Amino acid sequence: MTSKIEVVRPGIFATVQDLGRPGLAAIGVGRSGAADRGSLRLANRLVGNPEGNAALEAVLGGLVLRFSAPATVAVTGATCSITAGGRAAGPDSPVFLRAGEDLVLGTASRGLRCYVAVRGGIDVLPVLGARATDTLGELGPPVLSAGMTLPVGHRVLAHPGVDLAPRPSLPGEPVLRVSPGPRLDWFTAGALSTLVGSPFVATSDVDRVGVRLEGPLLSRARDGELPPEATVPGALQIPPSGQPILFLADHPVTGGYPVIAVVDEADLDLAAQLRPGQRVRFTLEW
C-alpha cells in the first residue's frame, strides 16, 4: 500500500520540486526545479534519497503535513520552527514521524524558502521527465492546497547514518558574485560599477520567476529594446526603469531587456532565499 501525505495547511505558497527539466529550452521549456537546489539536495541526502527525488518547497514555512504511515523527513533551507507529532525537531537532520502524526513548519524567521523531503520522495506523475511545478510554463503538479494528498515513492538509497548536517546561517545581507553580462555595451560606462558598488533591496515583487530589486539607477547608453534572446538563471535584466530583475528558477527562456550581469550559479541558492525588504550586494568576478 502506498503511503500518502495529506496537506493540512499549505502555507503562503508551496509546490512540488525536484532538479527540474534541463536541456529543453530549445522547445520553450525552462529548467524550473527547486529555487534553492542545494537545500533540496541536502534534504534528500538526509533521508537517504537520491538527490533528484521530488520534495516540497514552501515559501516562508507555514506548511502542515499529515502522514498516513511512519515516515522519515528532513527540513532544510529557510530557518523556521519545526514540530513532528507535537515534538520539537531540528532543521538539517532526519525527523521521524509515526502514522497519523503532523509535521508543522512555523513561519520562517530568516530566508524565504523551506524544503521538506520524505524518504522515498514525492511520487506525483512526471511531466517531461520531472515532477517539478513550473509556475511560468504551467507544467507539473498544481500548487499545493489544503486537503490535497501526495503519494510517497520508493526510490531510496542507504540511510546516511548522520543525525545533523551543520550549515552556516543564511546571511543577513548576502553578497552575490556576478560576471559581466552579454549586453554590457547597452549601459553607460559607470553602470556596472554602480551595480557592484551599492546595496540593492529585494521588493515584495518576488516569486519563482524572479525578484525585482530597488537601488541606484543603472543607466542605459542606448534607447529601444532588444529582440528576444536566450536567458539563464541569475540573469540581471534591466528594464527601462533602470532597476534590476534577478531571474530565478522559473524564468522565461527568452527575454527582451538587456542583461548587465549574471549571478554565479554557485550563488543562486542564496539569491533564492532573498526576502522582501532584505538588502543584497553584488561583487564582480571577471
CA distance 176 to 92: 23
| Res 1 pLDDT > 70 | no
- pLDDT for the residue numbered 226: 87
CA distance 160 to 148: 30
- Report H helices in the chain: 37-46, 191-197, 268-272
pLDDT digits (tens, 9 = 90+) for 23-32: 999 899 999 9
| Band (225; pLDDT cuts 50, 70, 90) | confident
- pLDDT for the residue numbered 129: 95
- pLDDT for the residue numbered 65: 98
Retrieve residue 222's grid coordinates. Answer: 542606448
Mean pLDDT on 208-213:
98
Q: Is 10:65 a contact under the CB 8 Å cutoff?
A: no
Counts of helices then strands in the chain (DSSP H, E) = 3, 20
Mean pLDDT on 196-222:
96
CA distance 105 to 80: 6
Q: Residue 207 gets which letter from DSSP?
A: -
- pLDDT for the residue numbered 103: 98
Closest CA to 53 of 150, 114, 6, 123: 123
CA angle 195/197/198 to nearest 5° reads 75
- pLDDT for the residue numbered 56: 98
pLDDT digits (tens, 9 = 90+) for 73-112: 999 999 999 999 999 999 999 999 999 999 999 999 999 9
- pLDDT for the residue numbered 240: 92
- pLDDT for the residue numbered 171: 95
3-state secondary structure of 274: coil
Retrieve residue 181's grid coordinates. Answer: 553580462
| Phi and psi angles of residue 194, each rounded to the nearest 5 degrees, phi first | -65, -40
pLDDT digits (tens, 9 = 90+) for 260-270: 999 999 999 99
- Comparing 227 with 151, which gets the higher pLDDT? 151
| Res 286 pLDDT > 90 | no
pLDDT digits (tens, 9 = 90+) for 108-127: 999 999 999 999 999 999 99
Q: In angstroms, what CA-CA distances link 138 with 19, 32, 162, 176, 250?
A: 16, 11, 37, 29, 10
Amino acid code (one letter) for 159: H
Domains of the chain: 4-151 (no CATH), 175-284 (2.40.100.10)
Average pLDDT over the chain, rounded to an integer = 96
Q: Residue 224 gets which letter from DSSP?
A: S
> For residue 196, is it left (φ>0), alpha (ψ between -120 and 50) or beta?
alpha
Whether the full predicted model's pTM is greater than 0.75, yes or no, is yes
| Band (246; pLDDT cuts 50, 70, 90) | very high
- pLDDT for the residue numbered 83: 98
Mean pLDDT on 262-279:
97
> For residue 52, is it left (φ>0), alpha (ψ between -120 and 50) or beta?
alpha
Percent of the chain with pLDDT over 90: 93
Mean pLDDT on 32-49:
98
Q: Residue 253 gets which letter from DSSP?
A: S
Beta bridge partner(s), residue 130: 127
- pLDDT for the residue numbered 268: 98
Retrieve residue 107's grid coordinates. Answer: 513561519
Q: Indicate the Cα dihedral angle 125, 131, 133, 139, nearest 10°.
A: -60
pLDDT digits (tens, 9 = 90+) for 2-39: 899 999 999 999 999 999 999 999 899 999 999 999 99
Closest CA to 75 of 122, 17, 115: 115
Q: In angstroms, what CA-CA distances link 83 with 8, 63, 66, 75, 218?
A: 14, 11, 12, 11, 45
